[in-house]
Amino acid sequence: MKYHVDGALVAREDATVSVEDRGFRYGDAAFETCRAYGGTVFAWDAHRDRLDATCETLGMADAVPEDIDERVTETLAANELADAYVRVSVTRGVQSGKLTPKEATDPTVVVVVKPLPRGGPDGERTWDDHATVQTVTTRRVPSNAVPADAKTHNYLNGIMARLELRRATTEEHRPDEALLRDQSGRVQEGTTSNLFFVTDGTLKTPAHGELLPGITREHVLDIARDEPFPVEVGEYELRDVREADEAFLTNSTWELRPIGSIDGIAVGSGPITTLCQRLYDERVASRCY
């Protein structure tokens, strides 16, 4: 495998950054996880815009290089990958060990790829089974502490939630995604996913407040608004999700992954989940293959 590091393709084993890089020291960095289908990165413009927005939030508005599109393309081509996971990271770069960053930046830019199966109607899922979801006591970091719409390298909140899953794992119960709530107990999102659920024929998803507004989430909402069933974006309690008729998670790699159970309560897929999956697959095919 070859990765793109600071403008050059290098072998995976040589793809390193300095121990003085602020992305390593402080998590002072932005990133995007995307998915390439047939050599085309799906929703790349939205991912690029969010990467720019995160960098602006972090006070390094010009950190994303103008040729980032070409760097992604070169990395896919160098690894002869058409269908792939793509991660683009932009750190503030190497600076002295002080918390306050310098105004001038020399960003570190890294593109990492790995193979994924073909997507679309004729493709394969990246997951083997429906998700087993467990609610955790770790709460979502409030947006007034860390902006919810900034996708940064600081994933300690999600790591603490996933460690809770490890402690909750038994022979009979093996959760693979944590469900996070805000400080008031309202359901927000998974550690690496957004949440949708269906009640009485209405597709529901938590409103953007303390959650990262996912790119896949936005595509699902866009798809669903053209369908005859109601779509609701609001505030929900844990019992609303536990009592749902259907539920699924979304992110760029999973696409739409049905939830098999939440806190040991069976949920599963259903007609609206299945329809949204099919329509998403068709959108991917029409735009990328």
pLDDT for 213 equals 92
pLDDT for 37 equals 98
Give per-residue pLDDT as tens, 32-53: 999 999 999 999 999 999 999 9
Sign of CA dihedral 114, 77, 69, 59: positive
pLDDT for 96 equals 87
- Split into its structural domains, the chain has a count of 2
pLDDT for 32 equals 98
Residue 275: strand, helix, or coil: helix
Co-location of 22 and 105 in the same domain: yes
DSSP secondary structure of 50-102: HHHHHHHHTT-TT-S-TTHHHHHHHHHHHTT-SSEEEEEEEE-BB--S-SSPP
pLDDT for 164 equals 97
Express as a percent the part of the chain with pLDDT over 90: 98
Task: Count Cα neighbours of 193 within 13 Å in the Cβ-side half-sphere.
Answer: 24
pLDDT for 97 equals 83
Residue 173: strand, helix, or coil: coil
Assigned token pair, 254: 């999973």
CA 66 from centroid of its chain's CA atoms? 23
Residue 265 maps to which CATH number? 3.20.10.10
Co-location of 108 and 138 in the same domain: no
Residue 158: strand, helix, or coil: helix
Co-location of 152 and 68 in the same domain: no
The whole domain housing 258 covers: 131-288
Query: In this structure, how many other beta carbons lie within 10 angstroms of the beta carbon of residue 14?
Result: 10
Beta strands in 123-239 (DSSP E): 131-139, 177-181, 187-190, 194-199, 202-206, 231-234
Co-location of 73 and 47 in the same domain: yes
Co-location of 110 and 139 in the same domain: no
CA 72, CA 45: separation in Å to the nearest integer? 13
Please list the ranges in the chain whose pLDDT falls under 50. Answer: none
Q: Residue 274 is which amino acid?
A: T
The answer to whether residue 85 sits within a structural domain is yes
- Crossing angle of helices 44-57 and 68-78, rounded to 10°: 120
pLDDT for 209 equals 83
The answer to whether residue 40 sits within a structural domain is yes
Of 111, 151, 149, the closest CA to residue 31 belongs to 151
